[in-house]
Amino acid sequence: MEKELHPIAELAKQAVESYVRQGKVLSPGELTAEMERRAGAFVSIKKRGELRGCIGTFEPTKANVAEEIVANAIGSATQDPRFTPVVASELDELEYSVDILTAPEPVEEVALLDPEKYGVIVECGLRRGLLLPDLEGVDTADQQIEICRAKAGISADEQVKLYRFQVRRHK
């Protein structure tokens, strides 16, 4: 029996299926209160428990969360450079997770980070790396920072600014 998706995860699923099957960008229908506000959002797609795509925005770029989810769901399925684009034959095997982000807040010391509770943004000039919270295999703030540095191409000896944020995860 298939478990029912949260409406936010369901929107991501519908957006991907509409785009992959018909080449159409889904227009969100009725919005929940959370979908009406503006916020950054990440859409993660997994296939058989393995990551298949993950694209998101640190801060809002669209009129509301629903539009942010639609754009990032399509991006996750078709534009994540780590993976080939999703094809129609895979759609029934995919699982969706959507993280709605709080506004990033500056952090002065690593001790104020908690990899289970907070995501991290590491910034050096125009380069920024982001890692969502509560990820399997990421147990320390130092690990989060190291992964963010690698994503952004920031070496270990470069001075960085740290930001933390929280997410509401919907599956």
CB 115 within 8 A of CB 141: yes
Q: What is the pLDDT of residue 141?
A: 98
What the block records as the tokens of 24 is: 């159409």
Q: For residues 157 and 57, give the distance between their C-alpha atoms in angstroms, rounded to a whole number.
A: 27
Q: Which domains does the chain have, with CATH numbers?
A: 7-101 (3.30.700.20), 105-170 (3.30.1490.150)
Q: What is the pLDDT of residue 20?
A: 98
Q: For residues 57 and 86, give the distance between their C-alpha atoms in angstroms, rounded to a whole number.
A: 20
pTM > 0.75: yes
Q: What is the pLDDT of residue 3?
A: 74
Segments in the chain below pLDDT 70: 1-2
Q: Where are the beta strands (DSSP E) in the chain?
A: 41-47, 50-56, 94-101, 105-107, 119-124, 127-131, 161-165, 167-170
Q: What is the pLDDT of residue 170?
A: 96
